[in-house]
Every structure is written in structure tokens, then in C-alpha cells.
Amino acid sequence: MAETVTEKAPGIAQHPVPGIEVQLGWYTYTIPPLLLEHVRRAFTEGLMDKIAKVEQAGGVMTAGSLDALDAIQQLTLWSIKRNYPEMTLEKVSEILDVGNQWEVQSAIFKLNRFTTRPTQAVAEQAPAPTPAPTNSGATLNVH
């Protein structure tokens, strides 16, 4: 049986932003929350819409899901770059795979209070946000 060896990823910022630890390849990365500017861009650039389409299809990935994969890679880069300044989109594409993509997406969604399927509890706590003209169901829950 092969032994799995993991260690903290190299290149972490001197004062890392707290977040959720996720194993990507051989290393453990700390995924912090997005900056507010990146949250804004995630919605205005349609990244959340692309992810919502896959989630609304029950999480089934098809050839039409390629835009969602690009969106997840971009969100991952924006988040991880806060702690690993040398990270690039190319490097993210080399460490993000089908085995860890959902874990990374879950971490980003949890840290930033994103949801593509509002829950009944959230709907009861606050009025629904006014969607942007291109919003296909993705929301940001702010409590």
C-alpha cells in the first residue's frame, strides 16, 4: 500500500489569512475567504451563474460544464493567491482535479457564504436578494 505524504504547501505568505485546509496533490493549502472585490467579480462576470448551472443539473458534469470548471479554477486562484502569492491559474489547473474539486468548491462556498440552491432556513431568515440581470440562481448569503 502506497503511503500518502502531505505537507504544507511551499510559498505561503508570511502572515497567512486563516481559512480551510485542503489537500491538493502532495500539499495541504489553506484556502481563505475571497476579497470583497472578488466576490463582486464572481457575480458580475457570471462565474456563479456557470457554477449554478452544473449544481442545478444535480452536479452532473458534461461537455457543457467546461465554463463551470473555468469558474471554479478562477475562484480557487483568487482565494488561494491570498496565501500563496506566486500561485497562477496555470498552477491551479495542475493541482485541481476531479478528486479535490468538490472539496475546494465546498470550502470556497462555505467561507464566503455562497449557495446556488437557497435553503428553506436561509429563505426564512432574510428576504431574497435581488438578482442581477444575468443571475441564474446563484446567491450570496449575508447574515
β-strand pairing of 27-31 with 114-115: unpaired
- Residue-wise pLDDT tens digits, 92-118: 999 998 888 889 988 998 888 887 544
Asked if 92 contacts 80 with a C-beta cutoff of 8 angstroms, the reply is: yes
CB atoms within 10 A of CB 101: 17
Alpha-carbon span 31 to 77, nearest angstrom = 10
- In this prediction, residue 33 carries a pLDDT of 95
- pLDDT tens digits, residue range 3-39? 555 667 776 767 889 999 999 988 999 999 999 999 9
Q: Residue 90 and residue 67: Cα distance in Å, rounded?
A: 16
pLDDT at 83: 94
